[in-house]
Amino acid sequence: MKVAIIKYNAGNVVSVNFALERLGITPIITDDITILQTADKVIFPGVGEASTTMKYLKNKQLDKIITSLQQPVLGICLGMQLLCQHSEEGDTDCLGVFPLKVRHFNSQKNTKQADLKVPHVGWNTLENLQSPLLQDLPTQNPYVYYVHSFYVEQGEPTIANTQYILPFSAALHYKNFYAVQFHPEKSGEVGAKILENFLALK
């Protein structure tokens, strides 16, 4: 199986690479159009800032390539947010695969729990799981690892949510595009199973 990780100016590429190697997959880290189009699976990771990253993707014409991919694609963290319609981070128009907006957490302003700070960092639970991407996880109350200040609102593509200050989309699915806000590569056995499920998708 040929798995490509999109190479660009933002991303947790190294940790995703190691996580796949633990599953017996040696991915190709690339921005080569032909390799991305012919890979069996494509992973779109991300740690960074939305507006500068979108400018980079457009300059490299990766924006058009990503949205035209026909095989299963997995966005992670910023990769998930960039697959949405618009982000409040830098007032950025994104790739528009998911018709959802990315919003900034309002810290304690809208919650009685004053200890909920931004960014949301650490382990939290997945709820309302609805997809083969999230099936057969090793625990009934799966915990995954988050690091983010912006969240994706809930909508029709939402296949799991998490509660932090308010409920938000933990995972999304539309056609061949999947995405998770958390970091599966840092989420232990649960994250490894989610990556394994992605690799098994047709």
* Active-site residue flag, 94: no
CA 144 to chain centre: 12
Catalytic residue, from 86, 183, 189, 196: name it.
Answer: 183
Clarify whether 77 is annotated catalytic. Answer: yes
Mean residue pLDDT across the chain: 94
CA atoms of 162 and 127, how far apart (whole Å): 6
Confidence of residue 66 (pLDDT cuts 50, 70, 90): very high
C-alpha 175: how far from its chain's center?
A: 15
Is the separation of the CB atoms in 81 and 152 below 8 Å? yes
pLDDT at 116: 85
Q: How far apart are CA 109 and CA 175, in angstroms?
A: 36
Least confident interval from 61-70, 82-91, 104-113: 104-113
**How many beta carbons lie within 10 A of that of residue 95, not counting itself?**
21
What lies within 8 Å, CB to CB, of 56 at 6+ separation is 8, 9, 10, 62
For 178-193, what is each residue's pLDDT tens digit?
999 999 999 999 999 9
Closest CA to 28 of 20, 183, 56: 20
Give the pLDDT of residue 112: 57
pTM of the model: 0.95
Whole-number pLDDT of residue 127: 97
| Segment 125-129 mean pLDDT | 97
pLDDT of residue 10: 78
Domains, the chain, in order of start with CATH, read 3-200 (3.40.50.880)
> Which residue in the list 84, 120, 148, 185 is annotated as catalytic?
185
Banded model confidence at residue 11, pLDDT cuts 50, 70, 90: confident
Q: In this predicted structure, what is the pLDDT of residue 141?
A: 87
Instruction: For residue 26, count other CB atoms closer than 10 A to its CB.
Output: 10
Q: Helix (H, G, I), strand (E, B), or coil: what is residue 38?
A: helix
Residue count of the chain, please give it. 202
The pLDDT, as a whole number, for residue 37 is 97
Query: Which of the residues 77, 84, 89, 94 is marked catalytic?
Result: 77
183: annotated active-site residue: yes
- In Å, the largest CA–CA distance within the chain is 51
